Structure 1
């Protein structure tokens, strides 16, 4: 499926000042447009520039003859380009004015402004990438840690796509085996074919379960582990946030209730992006603004992947502490006993009655004690029992995980159909549905509306 004849252009670098900015053009007219704008310092005609060769020159407004900027020009001729079309990149100085001037000239000369993600969409439509690989491009752009980058690069390289294609091939083989039994009833092979297919279905389901086991970790690496820091006022929540960030981001004072709003930051914990939220201290208060913050903190607890509850070792368990412990029912939490460098007045036996088998870390945020142990426990929660990221296929996309779950469901239905002694053509219906669901991941059986929705999440220029 090839894209249309129109040529697109866009600024491919971030808006703002920088050393270099790039205007990208893709399509049938890309080289022609560049030829009208670019003058090489050596006098070389643009049409004679070797593919993937960098040439130094100027962008000149053809209407006025005015030099817009000194640039480097790269032509990448089809099909050896990102989009598999002729692509031209103009590398100019990275200010908004030269970038906009050059982009405007490309539009005047026959291109149109690219839609969000349209360059990658063309790469997909022209067969350079499948849909899972295309989605990995945006994951690379948005990666927050080395671990999330490694996972995204693995998916762009085809780790997940290879697994999905292998599963689809196996399911198609099952369908062919059953259809052969239907086409040749005189051979009396239906029962044997159904038995063979049942074993293959069990194997396929196990392979999908293995992929789905990476989904939670993959989602966290992609989106971040939503982590809420809670505790009563002045227990050290903001100090913990600053310690994890290695900088003073939150206000730290001895005045109870200093943090009245919700402070949100991304923290890199051993490759895991923690979307960490420092909340207002939970307590009964007459302050309207602070009370709103407290209510918001309670709401965030229910939405969090992980809760870090701070208790004060130098004080007995307070009513506020007990109230917070009650809120943690059914939630994943780590209990942090702060100020452990001070004489302890905390009754640990009472804490254990509330927290059961939850993890407890003794720490002193001001002294830096316990931070390494906390990081290790978080890493174990995320990575525990799974392969290291980047070494195998990783599911880090909600759409992919949902498709795999639906595939498993249709395979389970096919297995039940076989066990119930139903005819092979009934089994084939479920297997075809499973095959199509997997095709939605790579884009082989996905609708145009889903494709459009995916690429609108990209930035313009990518």
Structure 2
């Protein structure tokens, strides 16, 4: 039997309300010992929290959740206490005095939710991303994963592949039964559909990762072009040192921002020029690497100016120091703010359009698993083309693809092939 665990579920320190969570087989018994008769499951009740000697610690709102209808899938009790450091400490010490209760390890409540199939592995990752979300786009994406959309998609793929494998297995092992003689067309159709979905999701993973981790926008230009001044204007603070001396910026300065609900890291790079200064040359090399790898580049360059890095099709090119040029729609000035709003709007529009391609999968491990499954399915199609005598090999490759996809949600269940065979072809006689 698993231990009963407890922990403070809200941030430490003084607050209006602090929540202590208790989960496990003895949760109701322990809570009853310190709070008296508990309310019905999923109902709140005001109770006094008392020590075993009868001393009142606090008056708290008690919320019990009977298994399996709780976050962890176990009996859970939540204590909504007054947010005093002393009150929370006394409550935790009281819970620790019970021999069958212990302080939870980091992430243990969520781990129990996974083990009790209240969440799949992708949902656990979505929950972690939701807690870390800083922008609206990150919140929406994380909540979509937490809501089980990726798990639902994986289940659809899994169901189609199990059906395909069942057809092959039935042809191999139950040739005397009433099953299709040539199952290749149906199997191929199932594989084609899954592979198309996988290809789309794999393509969208990179964008989804960017929403989770943040897009990078590099400000690029020659020395003393006003890059640092522009960065400070965009950030709304003095994040970079500005100077009339060319080559002031030697290293890359990063500023994280929320642009239209999207997480963006602005990069102020060293001025691009050939230099005999070893340190400045190193800074230029780093600037080129980061700028090339950025999602978008803002070039501060005058018409006809040639830099060490060629602008891409989607990159933004604006004239620097608009305060010295007068009325120019395609110029910006970090000093006066001229053109800043228009520049921000262009950046937002580009990144918002890119974000539309985001898939359900948000982590690198998701992409790797889907790519492996896609490779296996391509192998299966090649084997099927060699004829029915190779169906056994194709079926094994299909099983490998299914297991790979199951790693996305932490679900491994090899018995489902037999279940599908018997249910689909009525062979369990």
Tell me the TM-score normalized by structure 1: 0.77
Aligned match of 2:214: 224
Give the Cα–Cα distance (whole angstroms) in 2 for the partners of residues 263 and 95 of structure 1.
40
Q: How far is 1:236 from its partner?
A: 2.8
> Structure 1 pair 215/28, CA: closer, same or farther in 2 (3 Å)?
same
> Structure 1 pair 153/52, CA: closer, same or farther in 2 (3 Å)?
same
> Structure 1 pair 57/379, CA: closer, same or farther in 2 (3 Å)?
same
Contact 1:230 1:307 in 2 (8 A): no
Aligned match of 1:420: 386
Give the Cα–Cα distance (whole angstroms) in 1 for the partners of residues 365 and 79 of structure 2.
35
Aligned match of 1:459: none
Please tell me whether residue 268 in structure 1 is matched to residue 258 in structure 2: yes
* Structure 2 gap ranges (5+): 414-429
Aligned match of 1:406: 372
Give the Cα–Cα distance (whole angstroms) in 2 for the partners of residues 297 and 62 of structure 1.
64
Q: How far is 1:13 from its partner?
A: 1.6
Give the alignment partner of residue 174 of structure 1, picking from 164, 170, 194. Answer: 164
Q: How far is 1:266 from its partner?
A: 2.4
Instruction: Tell me the number of residue pairs that the alignment of Structure 1 and Structure 2 aligns.
Output: 407
Q: How far is 1:413 from its partner?
A: 0.4
More deviation in 290-299 or 52-61? Answer: 290-299
Contact 1:361 1:370 in 2 (8 A): no
Contact 2:66 2:74 in 1 (8 A): yes
Q: Which has the higher contact order (CA 8 A, sep 6+)?
A: 1
Contact 2:137 2:262 in 1 (8 A): yes
Give the Cα–Cα distance (whole angstroms) in 2 for the partners of residues 175 and 139 of structure 1.
35
Contact 1:239 1:250 in 2 (8 A): no
CA RMSD of aligned residues (A): 3.4
Aligned match of 1:339: 321
Please tell me whether residue 383 in structure 1 is matched to residue 353 in structure 2: yes
Give the alignment partner of residue 19 of structure 2, picking from 13, 22, 26. Answer: 22
> Structure 1 pair 341/161, CA: closer, same or farther in 2 (3 Å)?
same
Give the alignment partner of residue 7 of structure 1, picking from 4, 9, 17. Answer: 4
Aligned match of 1:34: 31
Give the Cα–Cα distance (whole angstroms) in 2 for the partners of residues 227 and 104 of structure 1.
49
Contact 2:229 2:242 in 1 (8 A): no
Aligned match of 2:425: none
Q: How far is 1:146 from its partner?
A: 1.2
Please tell me whether residue 49 in structure 1 is matched to residue 34 in structure 2: no
Aligned match of 1:322: 307
Deviations 1:171-226 (A, max 9, x none): 11111111121124468988721233123211221121122232122111111113
> Structure 1 pair 106/335, CA: closer, same or farther in 2 (3 Å)?
farther
* Structure 1 gap ranges (5+): 39-44, 345-359, 447-462
Contact 1:182 1:190 in 2 (8 A): no
Aligned match of 1:353: none
> Structure 1 pair 34/407, CA: closer, same or farther in 2 (3 Å)?
same
* 1:220-299 equivalent positions in 2, closer than 5 A: 220-245=210-235, 247-251=236-240, 253-256=242-245, 259=249, 262-281=252-271, 284=275, 296-298=286-288
Give the Cα–Cα distance (whole angstroms) in 2 for the partners of residues 337 and 244 of structure 1.
16
Give the alignment partner of residue 94 of structure 2, picking from 105, 115, 119. Answer: 105
* 1:101-140 equivalent positions in 2, closer than 5 A: 101-110=90-99, 111-140=101-130
Give the Cα–Cα distance (whole angstroms) in 2 for the partners of residues 186 and 72 of structure 1.
66
SS at match of 2:300: strand
Give the Cα–Cα distance (whole angstroms) in 1 for the partners of residues 294 and 340 of structure 2.
21
Contact 1:334 1:361 in 2 (8 A): no
Deviations 1:315-361 (A, max 9, x none): 984xxx733x26x7x898544432245339xxxxxxxxxxxxxxx96
More deviation in 10-19 or 430-439? Answer: 10-19
Give the Cα–Cα distance (whole angstroms) in 1 for the partners of residues 93 and 390 of structure 2.
64
Tell me the TM-score normalized by structure 2: 0.82
Please tell me whether residue 73 in structure 1 is matched to residue 62 in structure 2: yes
Deviations 1:370-407 (A, max 9, x none): 544554355435634946x7xxx622121111111111
Aligned match of 1:451: none
Contact 1:308 1:336 in 2 (8 A): no
Q: How far is 1:228 from its partner?
A: 3.3
Give the Cα–Cα distance (whole angstroms) in 2 for the partners of residues 18 and 234 of structure 1.
48
Q: How far is 1:83 from its partner?
A: 0.8
Give the Cα–Cα distance (whole angstroms) in 2 for the partners of residues 375 and 277 of structure 1.
18
Q: How far is 1:242 from its partner?
A: 3.5
SS at match of 1:268: strand
Please tell me whether residue 363 in structure 1 is matched to residue 332 in structure 2: yes
Aligned match of 1:433: 400
Q: How far is 1:276 from its partner?
A: 2.7
Give the alignment partner of residue 73 of structure 2, picking from 84, 88, 103. Answer: 84
